[in-house]
């Protein structure tokens, strides 16, 4: 990431599942706050769990209205009534889990038209277990050795560059080597006896179009007897299954997203033989999948969700979503200068009707980020698709997804958004105080994580007015870092990226002489405390340098 881009993103960092403003989290964290509490939206008071409508509030947790989508960080979806009832009945009896898995697998096949079905402990666990099945071929002697693949024939998974994403960590958990390819020529060269599987992420357009589409990859995979695993976690379920028709061997879904099954469950559909080996690699059996336990309630709840999916009137559901958004739109557009646009559901990935509400932040004196923060941090709490402000076209906006809203939510959301946008807001003039210090130099940074310590370094090379630029030496990398100093307040940010995963480092502290300290915010990984001390640089005395007169090549320009 370019340094100028870092400066632009100091107020927004990635959290699980998308973009959300850092301000609600940072505002609740005072300087020097213990790391065990840092990063919480609230500090729950002690209290006994009270069964009833206020079950979350009884322990100090305030629920929210979900206008954002099926993101795990805000608990995915609400189970369908059919699922809740099925889980309740399933919890009252003991069964043999192997027998249950076989019965559920057979019934899932009958409903979906797939050869077989399996319930996993979430979609990510399903990805890992299918990978294990592909590298072990159902051999339990291999199974119990994973992730030590010494002596294994199949140790590699091929993945197109467009399919690399933070969720493929589940596949790497099996101990395999990911081979990333970006052309058909690279793909053909990568195929070998070591290839256990091909992994495809179905969300990018390249999955359907382009040289490494599933249609182009599938014939080569079949020719070499290599399974294709398709990750369709956030998609709606297609019956008959579109991915299996296109050439996938197994397709994986999240159970707690569009299907509205148990949040801790996933759905695998495809080859019976491969899914039998996948079940062999899953809990309750010992081996690499034992840590992803799936109970009888999730098995039955997931089956109930698929049964319901096949019967639900999806067009009518989508009409209902649009009617909710129309209600919100009618209310908020009575405010002078506020416009709204509804987008009807498109495609299969994160399929939802969406409402975009826009205004001129210079007229209403409030940004999209500030509206989103207000909605999230005040009752009734509402989680939105990230609020944004674009200074180039002078627009601020918020986005509302209808997919996970519940009946009646539209009235609450309309009232809250209307109230915020119709209020008079004072024009904000951001004036930074003159820098209280020059931070140029080398800094030794001690970090207190939850359970250990880290040592980083900052090489701050340039300070122009309030802006600072330099380099951040983290545990493994040298990263560009940039930020600002406002009086004694210092905020710097860098990003570490590896294997399609990103860790933001946001240093938020106060300078005091040759020390600045505060809270290090780590995005979805919460936070830590840090102390940075100016490093004592030893100045080497000047001396003349003698160049050897032998053994070197003389340059013509000398």
Quick one: pLDDT band at residue 30, thresholds 50, 70, 90?
very low
Domain residues for the domain of 28 are 1-61+433-538
- Looking at 295, 311, 327, which one is the last position of a domain? 311
- 205 is a domain residue: yes
305 with 326, same domain?
Answer: no
423 with 444, same domain?
Answer: no
* pLDDT at position 429: 85
* pLDDT at position 538: 52
Burial class (CB in 10 A: 0-12, 13-18, 19+), 217: buried
- Residues 10-41 as b or e (16 or more Cβ within 10 Å = b): bbbbbbebebbbbbbbbebbeeebebeebbee
439 with 415, same domain?
Answer: no
The enclosing domain of 423 has a CATH number of: 3.90.1150.110
445 with 404, same domain?
Answer: no
Average pLDDT of the segment spanning 207-216: 96
Quick one: pLDDT band at residue 542, thresholds 50, 70, 90?
low
* pLDDT at position 545: 73
- 193 is a domain residue: yes
234 with 348, same domain?
Answer: no
86 with 175, same domain?
Answer: yes
Residue 28 has pLDDT above 70, yes or no: no
Report the C-alpha gap between 478 and 457 in whole angstroms.
9
Which of 35-44, 60-69, 173-182, 456-465 is predicted with the least confidence, judged by mean pLDDT?
35-44
Average pLDDT of the segment spanning 450-471: 96
- 554 is a domain residue: no
Average pLDDT of the segment spanning 107-122: 98
Report the C-alpha gap between 493 and 489 in whole angstroms.
14
Q: How many CB atoms lie within 10 A of CB 319?
A: 12
394 with 344, same domain?
Answer: yes
* pLDDT at position 413: 98
- 549 is a domain residue: no
Of 66, 18, 15, 76, nearest to 255 (Cα)? 76
* pLDDT at position 47: 80
Report the C-alpha gap between 342 and 355 in whole angstroms.
4
Average pLDDT of the segment spanning 344-371: 94
Structure token pair of residue 344: 């009807």
288 with 352, same domain?
Answer: no
278 with 264, same domain?
Answer: yes
Q: Are 414 and 327 in contact (CB under 8 A)?
A: yes
398 with 332, same domain?
Answer: yes
* pLDDT at position 99: 98
- 544 is a domain residue: no
The enclosing domain of 520 has a CATH number of: 2.40.128.120
- 230 is a domain residue: yes
Quick one: pLDDT band at residue 550, thresholds 50, 70, 90?
low
pLDDT higher at 60 or 222? 222
- Looking at 270, 295, 311, which one is the last position of a domain? 311
Domain count, the chain: 3
* pLDDT at position 109: 98
Residue 50 has pLDDT above 90, yes or no: no
* pLDDT at position 511: 97
pLDDT higher at 40 or 551? 551
- 543 is a domain residue: no
Tell me the per-residue pLDDT of 228-285, one tens digit each, with 9 for 90 and over.
999 999 999 999 999 999 999 999 999 999 999 999 999 999 999 999 999 999 999 9
455 with 409, same domain?
Answer: no
- 552 is a domain residue: no
* pLDDT at position 387: 83
Burial class (CB in 10 A: 0-12, 13-18, 19+), 407: exposed
Q: Are 46 and 35 in contact (CB under 8 A)?
A: no
184 with 262, same domain?
Answer: yes
Average pLDDT of the segment spanning 353-361: 96
- Looking at 406, 428, 450, which one is the last position of a domain? 428
């Amino acid at each position: 990431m370019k340094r100028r881009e870092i400066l632009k993103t100091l107020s927004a960092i990635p959290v699980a599942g998308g973009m959300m403003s850092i301000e609600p989290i940072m505002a609740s964290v005072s300087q020097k706050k213990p790391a065990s509490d840092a990063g919480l939206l609230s500090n729950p008071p002690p209290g006994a769990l009270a069964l009833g409508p206020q079950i979350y509030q009884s322990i100090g947790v305030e629920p929210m209205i979900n206008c954002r989508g099926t993101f795990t960080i805000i608990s995915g979806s609400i189970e369908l009534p059919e699922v809740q009832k099925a889980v309740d009945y399933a919890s009252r009896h003991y069964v043999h889990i192997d027998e249950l898995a076989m019965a559920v697998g057979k019934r899932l096949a009958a409903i979906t038209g797939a050869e077989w079905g399996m319930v996993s402990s979430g979609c990510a666990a399903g990805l890992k277990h299918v990978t294990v099945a592909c590298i072990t071929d159902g051999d339990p002697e291999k199974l119990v050795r994973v992730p030590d693949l010494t002596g294994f024939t199949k140790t590699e998974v091929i993945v197109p560059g467009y399919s690399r994403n933070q969720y493929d960590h589940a596949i790497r958990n099996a101990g395999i080597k990911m081979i990333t390819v970006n052309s058909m020529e690279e793909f053909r060269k990568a195929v070998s006896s070591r290839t256990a599987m091909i992994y495809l992420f179905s969300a990018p357009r390249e999955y359907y179009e382009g040289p490494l589409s599933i249609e182009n990859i599938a014939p080569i995979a079949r020719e070499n007897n290599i399974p294709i695993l398709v990750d369709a976690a956030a998609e709606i379920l297609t019956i008959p299954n579109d991915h299996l028709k296109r050439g996938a061997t197994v397709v994986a879904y999240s159970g707690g997203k569009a299907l509205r099954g148990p949040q801790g469950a996933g759905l695998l559909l495809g080859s019976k033989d491969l899914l039998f080996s996948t079940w062999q690699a899953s809990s309750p059996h010992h081996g690499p999948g034992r840590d992803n336990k799936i109970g009888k309630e999730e098995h039955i709840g997931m089956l109930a969700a698929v049964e319901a999916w096949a019967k639900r009137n999806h067009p009518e559901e989508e009409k209902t979503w649009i009617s909710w958004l129309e209600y919100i739109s009618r209310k908020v557009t009575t405010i002078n200068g506020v416009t709204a646009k509804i987008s009807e559901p498109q495609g299969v990935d994160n399929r939802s009707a969406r409402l975009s509400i826009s205004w001129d932040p210079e007229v209403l004196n409030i940004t999209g980020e500030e509206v989103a923060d207000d909605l999230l941090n005040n009752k009734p709490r509402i989680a939105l698709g990230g609020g944004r402000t674009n200074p180039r076209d002078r627009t601020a906006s918020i986005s509302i997804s209808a997919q996970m809203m519940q009946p009646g939510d539209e009235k609450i959301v309309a009232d809250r958004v209307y109230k915020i946008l119709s209020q008079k807001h004072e024009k904000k003039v951001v004036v930074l105080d003159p820098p209280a210090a020059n931070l140029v130099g080398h800094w030794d940074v001690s970090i207190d994580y939850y359970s250990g310590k880290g040592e980083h370094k900052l090489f701050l090379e340039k300070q122009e007015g309030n802006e600072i630029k330099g380099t951040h030496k983290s545990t493994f990398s040298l990263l560009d870092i940039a930020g600002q100093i406002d009086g004694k307040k210092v905020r710097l940010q860098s990003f570490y990226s590896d294997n399609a995963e990103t860790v933001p480092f946001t240093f938020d502290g106060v300078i005091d002489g040759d020390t600045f300290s505060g809270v290090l915010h780590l995005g979805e990984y919460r936070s830590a405390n840090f102390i940075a001390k100016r490093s004592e640089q030893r100045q080497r005395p000047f001396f003349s340098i003698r160049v050897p007169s032998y053994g070197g090549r003389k340059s013509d320009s000398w």
